[in-house]
Structure 1
Amino acid sequence: MNTSNNNKRKMIVIHGGHFSSLKGFYEEASSVLMKDTDWKVGTLDGFDDILYGGFGVIDGKEEIEIIWKESQKSKENLGFNATREFYENKIRQGKPFNIELIQQKLDELTKGEGQTLFEILVEIIESHSNIALRLE
């Protein structure tokens, strides 16, 4: 196998300056990852699915580097308050969401133990072994 491929790693830039909410993140991710498709990211699972590749700009298991610019801004925008609101909205909507599970996640967050949306998104990206994440 040719090891010089690392230099040819496809670069994808998510720009934290372009959004300040989870909905905005989905729009940014859709515009950079799904350029020529009419499919849009609208859920955390949907974002995870896109990263598996095969549609949009990621072609299967190719080596990708995602550069998240202004990630500190995103970390604040998608931090505790946004995450609490995210869970509270799901609880308000009720079905099809698992309210007990979401309440548990909200309780963990409130106790300072749960993950913020930013941390969840980072974890989703890092769960893909072919994708390197650089927070800038």
Structure 2
Amino acid sequence: MLNSYKIITINGSHFSDLPGFYDEISSVLMKDTDWKIGTLDGFDDILYGGFGVFESGGKIEIRWKESQKSKEDLGLESTRNFYQNKIRQGKPFNIQLMQQKLENLLSGKGQTLFEILIEIIESHKNITLILE
């Protein structure tokens, strides 16, 4: 079967937080399925393809419109809240790891949610990311 090249567009003006990002990415990558993305691992998993809108290993281009807005929305404050919520919830989360990630973030050495999402996308060699 021929792997077709797909262009996927996500729009940063459609969301302002991580749950909103998951809704946006679910609507474009998982349309016509009942499955919704709700975690960073789940986001990584769907980028392997094979379900949703592209084949496993298929080449895709993700165009992230309004990416500067997303960079701000998913920046330091949002990421700090993300880790603090995980620490507050406790199990099944690794509290020590979350605490370390929070400390790294606050000391300027950690990644924001936006940077984590970019890293996840870029770890998939069949995906080209264009920030617009």
TM-score of the aligned structures, taking structure 2 as reference length: 0.97
The reply on whether 1:74 has 2:70 as its aligned counterpart is yes
Match for residue 134 of structure 1? 130
Match for residue 26 of structure 2? 30
Q: Which runs of 5+ in 1 are unaligned?
A: none
The reply on whether 1:54 has 2:19 as its aligned counterpart is no
- Name the amino acid aligned to 1:82: S
Match for residue 59 of structure 2? 63
Deviations 1:33-58 (A, max 9, x none): 00000000000000000000011012
Return the alpha-carbon distance in structure 2 between the equivalents of residues 92 and 29 of structure 1: 27
The match for 1:39 among 35, 38, 41 is 35
Match for residue 109 of structure 2? 113
Query: In percent, how many aligned pairs have the same letter?
Result: 73
Q: CA offset at residue 122 of structure 1?
A: 0.3
Q: In the comparison of the two structures, how many residue pairs are matched?
A: 131
TM-align CA RMSD: 1.3
Return the alpha-carbon distance in structure 2 between the equivalents of residues 118 and 58 of structure 1: 23
Runs of 4+ in 1 over 4 A off after TM superposition: none
Return the alpha-carbon distance in structure 2 between the equivalents of residues 118 and 31 of structure 1: 19
Q: CA offset at residue 9 of structure 1?
A: 2.4
- Name the amino acid aligned to 1:128: H
TM-score of the aligned structures, taking structure 1 as reference length: 0.94
Q: Which runs of 5+ in 2 are unaligned?
A: none
Return the alpha-carbon distance in structure 2 between the equivalents of residues 89 and 36 of structure 1: 31
